[in-house]
Amino acid sequence: MRIDFNVTEQYDGKKVLHVLKGQMKLSSRLIKNLKKHDGILLNGSSARTIDTVHTGDIVSAVIEYNEEINFQPEESDISIIYEDQYFLAVNKKAGIPVHPSAGHQAGTLVQMVLAHLIKQGLSVKARPINRLDKDTSGIVLFAKNSYIQDRLIAQMKKNSVFKLYLGIVHGIYEPSEGIINLPIARKINSTIERVVDTNGTPSITRYKTLEVHKDLSLVQFTLETGRTHQIRVHSKAMGHPLLGDWLYSDIKTDLIDRQALHSTLFAFDHPITSGRIILNAPIPEDMRKVLRN
């Protein structure tokens, strides 16, 4: 991938480095990698970061799709919602971890996406931009190179990414919609569980009840912050834990074999074209079946 920048008067007389870090917004890590692989060009010729630029010059960054892959790829059917040369979005099934970990060395979404990329002739890392719990289904976005990863993560940090979830909870929210503003912290002596704690990190979830089915409700959740297990913890704190949530609910059920939570919408600005990308993943069949009962 090649990114070009036409030098404006603002950068006239400045160094190539100022253009790379300023207008092009490249990270120091990526610039270091570009230098190593002769990936910085000035008017089409190899350049140094200390070279001076002038109005009308073209500074280019050539990002190679050739990296050492650090996980074993695994071929599997994945549901791709969107893909171009910069990123792809997958509708993850419940029960699949996103990333390899001590407890899950195989069968992860990263390894499945790696296999897909290799089939395309690419030798790149699979870079997940967002993560879902193993038993949460829905949209996971992957960048195809470090520049796209940096630009998408920057949007996440600025809260310009919009994420919408659907969950089935026990009981009925009163009022039917509102804001949950409760700080979250890691539970003492636990590596996994989170709790509401006044000394925790500020955490905000918006909720809206969409349907009521006897003693269950289909609720739409919008995250204004992205804490670990945020929806699950906030739902429990409000007295309406997610159906099937073995960690945050003591209510037994045979209606579903995982927490009934699904990432259904993910919207962001395309890191190259700036156009708004809106991704949708319909509610999965196991949650539909609960609502039909």
Q: Which helix (H) or strand (E) holds 41?
A: strand 40-42
The amino acid sitting at 98 is: V
| 5 SS3 class | strand
C-alpha dihedral sign at 107, 242, 164, 151 = negative
- Give the per-residue SS3 of 174-212: CCCEEEEECCEEECCCCCCCEEECCCCECCEEEEEEEEE
Cα(112)–Cα(90) distance, integer angstroms: 10
263 — phi, psi (to 5°)?
-80, 105
Cα(200)–Cα(185) distance, integer angstroms: 4
Cα(261)–Cα(274) distance, integer angstroms: 30
Alpha-carbon Rg for the chain, nearest whole angstrom, is 22
Q: Is the peptide bond before 241 cis (omega within 30 degrees of 0)?
A: no
Cα(239)–Cα(248) distance, integer angstroms: 11
Enzyme catalytic residues: 133
- Residues near 37 by beta carbon (within 8 Å), at least 6 away in sequence: 62, 64
Cα(255)–Cα(232) distance, integer angstroms: 18
Select from 61, 59, 35 the least CA-distant residue to 48. Answer: 35
